[in-house]
Amino acid sequence: MPAGDAFTPDQLYDIEKAVQHAEEVSGLHFSVYVGGADEETRPFAIELLNELDDPDSSVLVYVDPAGRRLEIVTGSQAKRQLSDVAAGLAALTMQTSFAAGDLTGGLVTGVQQLGTHAHQPPLLHASDELHKL
Amino acid sequence: MIVELSGHSLLVFVGIPVLVVAVLALLVFASSIADGPRYRPGLSWWAPPVWINGPTATKPDPANLPELPALNSAPGATATAGTGIARTIGGASASW
């Protein structure tokens, strides 16, 4: 690993894979930011969310390793699929791993959990197959 | 009793144990050396920010947008992509 990088290529791959999987499952856009904040973490995380291409349908996971803070921010559309309670549960999972020094494991597990919680099953009543029964 | 150590004895009784200890230490620390510095809660963070799946680099520059009639011809197609501000924010916070 080059000096100064937060993650090894393998770790980055794992996180990207988890993000990709969460997006496929939920249909939402997931983004992960790891770094320090110039201000309070929550407003900073909201600023980051608003920089995304479609903030309303996005979920941003912000981790400040130095300040030991974690923020999960959901846009208005994403909030309908991913409740604050579900986000809190994922935050709890990540918090446990981060406290043990496992940033990658926490992010992978947490993002997967967020994707699973945001998963929307297909509407069966809208399917033609149901009418054939 | 005073024992005089020859060069050969020194190699056997000092050199080999030191070599064994050095090899064991290398085996123990090899993985952490290969992985680089590890995050330790409470200590300073050394790495530059990482943004995974962040905003696309090819975000349209407002100064270079071609012409406005395209917006008028398809008002519904240009909702919030690229320049949107999330209205209602949800989520959760934690610290460790």
> How high is the pLDDT of residue B57?
64
Lowest pLDDT segment from A48-57, A73-82, B36-45: B36-45
Domain assignment present for A117? yes
> How high is the pLDDT of residue B66?
46
pLDDT in tens, A104-123: 999 999 999 999 998 876 66
ipTM score = 0.81
A62 pLDDT band, cuts 50/70/90, is very high
Domain assignment present for A73? yes
* Partners of A69 in the β-ladder: A64, B95
How far is residue B23 from each of residues A126, B11, B20, B37, B86, measured CA to CA in Å?
67, 16, 5, 21, 57
> How high is the pLDDT of residue B80?
38
Whichever domain contains A113, its CATH number is 3.10.310.50
Domain assignment present for A55? yes
B65 pLDDT band, cuts 50/70/90, is very low
Domain assignment present for A3? no
Domain boundaries along the sequence of chain B: 8-35
pLDDT in tens, B20-64: 999 999 999 888 777 767 788 877 787 889 999 988 865 444 445
Query: What domain range is A97 assigned to?
Result: 9-132
Domain count, chain A: 1
Domain assignment present for A44? yes
> How high is the pLDDT of residue B34?
74
pLDDT in tens, A13-42: 999 999 999 999 999 999 999 998 877 899
Q: Do B53 and A31 touch (CB under 8 A)?
A: yes
Closest-CA residue of B relative to A103 is B39
Tell me the pLDDT of chain B averaged across its residues. Answer: 72
Q: Using the Cα atoms of residue A71, residue A72, residue A75 and residue A79 in order, give the sign of their dihedral.
A: negative
> How high is the pLDDT of residue A51?
92
- Minimal CA separation from B22 to chain A, in Å: 24
Chain A and chain B share a number of CB contacts under 8 A equal to: 162
B89 pLDDT band, cuts 50/70/90, is confident
Residues 6+ apart with CB under 8 A from A87: A72, A74, A114, A117, B90, B91, B92
Lowest pLDDT segment from A50-59, A122-131, B9-18, B87-96: A122-131
> How high is the pLDDT of residue A38?
77
Pairs from B82-85 (Cβ < 8 Å, separation ≥ 24): B82/A53, B84/A50, B84/A53, B84/A54, B84/A55, B84/A56, B85/A50, B85/A55
* Chain B partners within 8 Å of A36 (Cβ): 45, 49
Q: Which two tokens stand for residue B43?
A: 């200590």
Q: Do B45 and A50 touch (CB under 8 A)?
A: no
Q: How far apart are CA A30 and CA A57, in angstroms?
A: 9
Asked if A87 contacts A114 with a C-beta cutoff of 8 angstroms, the reply is yes
Q: How far apart are CA A36 and CA A22, in angstroms?
A: 25
What would the mean pLDDT of A52-70 be, rounded to a whole number? 92
Nearest CB neighbour to B52, from listed A15, A54, A78: A15
Domain assignment present for A1? no
Share of chain A above pLDDT 90, in %: 65
